[in-house]
Amino acid sequence: MAVEPVVIIGDVILDRDLTGRSVRLCPDAPVPVVDTDTTLTSPGGAGLAALMCARIDRVPEVRLVAPLADDVHGEQIRADLTDIDVVALGHSGGTRTKTRIRSEGQTLLRVDDGGPGLPVDVDRQAVADALAVGVVLVSDYGAGTTHDEGIRTAIADKAEHGTVVWDPHPRGGAPVPGCALVTPNLAEAQAAAREFGLEVLPDRPDELAAGLRRAWRAHAVSVTVGPEGAWFADEGGCRLIPSRHQEAGDPCGAGDRYSVAAATALSRGESAATAAGRAGAAASTWVADGGAAGFRGRGNQPSPSPLDGFAHRIEQTRRSGGVIVATGGCFDILHAGHAHYLRAARELGDLLVVLLNSDDSVRRLKGPARPVMPEVDRRHLLEALACVDAVVVFDEDDPRAALEVVRPDVWVKGGDYRADTLPEAPLVHSWGGRVEILPLTPGRSTTSILRRTRDVG
């Protein structure tokens, strides 16, 4: 699949985590004393977004356009972005830094310093040239980049002729008209609504998303509402894209992860709705993997597991002696036969993982007219079933690579297969697993539903 470049423009910060243990109070004030044992630093803001895009989403060409200070912290940021094409703009003041003091995984204090970080001596044509290729993500951290008229003009022109994702900030400029997707969190969306004078009830985030889409003249708006998911509004209406099951973790940087994953999906030619679904899943994984601190602690490398935050739960089940069951398929147009089959599969063990063919995989297997339902919808429907504990999407034509990671005790397929002809059977047997064939519900299939639908139409 061809991937367009992703250009990130916005404000860069230097993030620092000072971690240690606190077992005593300061003798001259009732505050905890933290004995620091580790200091982790990394580019933050738009810099963190660029690292996510390159090192987690593996976008081949990532460009960062941002003001960078000529000081020791600015040099450190440049050194950490060696695999990013950096277009540095003039920067007023010293590098903005955010330092978190942490004890045993908990943040006790954050200290902000530096700035103001306003762009200076901006070459409007150079910015326009930098934004000319690929998908543009505006990563606004309130330092003033999105208020600069020259920069706004270049982004507005890009939105008119290309694809722009805008991650807003309360102190930043409003998104330019024509954005493909704007991704505020609930607090940011409510603040923007007040500025527009929109009267939205507190319990109606759907109306909030729809109203902001019209006010910002955006093609789509996705208002993230934490573990609940995101309210996505486009020309077709507004709906909740629920978040997947999420282990406890650190939410720092989750908003950046959401907007980056959405921009990456758009760079791969996916729709805004599909991009929002992928973004929600990516943000859940980010939180479960320890957030920004976890990312810095891994040396800015992604978690090696493709299980999207479920690895811990699967491993817990395995350690406790539970039986892990897995099955796979396209599950295009979820129907009663699927529900009976999945419930029966779940009864074979203690945890059921569904390996789901991606949209590209379904097209290769079923033809250009399939899937009828996009991957994000198929995934959310499966996750809504009480018998399904986890859904893992794979892009290959068969599930063997994903199976190698999950390593289930039981691999389940429907009655239209034979255990001795399944190409994945030897792999499952190699770690001591077994293959079970379950009967299908007569008269229930996606193909028959589509055939009847065409006949009725």
Length of the chain: 457
Question: To 10 degrees, the CA torsion angle through 171, 172, 175, 180?
Answer: -100
CB 221 within 8 A of CB 258: no
The Cα–Cα gap between 447 and 366 comes to 10
CB 438 within 8 A of CB 345: yes
Mutual angle of helices 254-267 and 46-55, in 10-degree steps: 50
The residues with which 65 forms a beta bridge, in sequence order, are 9, 87
C-alpha distances in Å from residue 98, one per residue of 19, 41, 69, 309, 373: 14, 10, 15, 27, 43
Helical residues (DSSP H) of 367-433, grouped into ranges? 375-383, 400-406, 425-430
CB 394 within 8 A of CB 357: yes
Give the active site residue among 15, 250, 256, 377: 256
Write phi, then psi, for 443 (nearest 5 degrees): 75, 10
DSSP one-letter string for 37-50: EEEEEEEEEHHHHH
Whether 35 sits among the annotated catalytic residues: the reply is: no
Q: How far is CA 327 from the centre of its chain?
A: 25
Residue type, 211: G
Is the torsion defined by CA of 283, 289, 291, 294 positive or negative?
negative
Place of tokens 């190699």: 430
CB atoms within 10 A of CB 41: 17
Question: If we measure between CA atoms, which residue out of 250, 282, 254, 262 comes closest to residue 186?
Answer: 254
Active site positions, annotated: 256
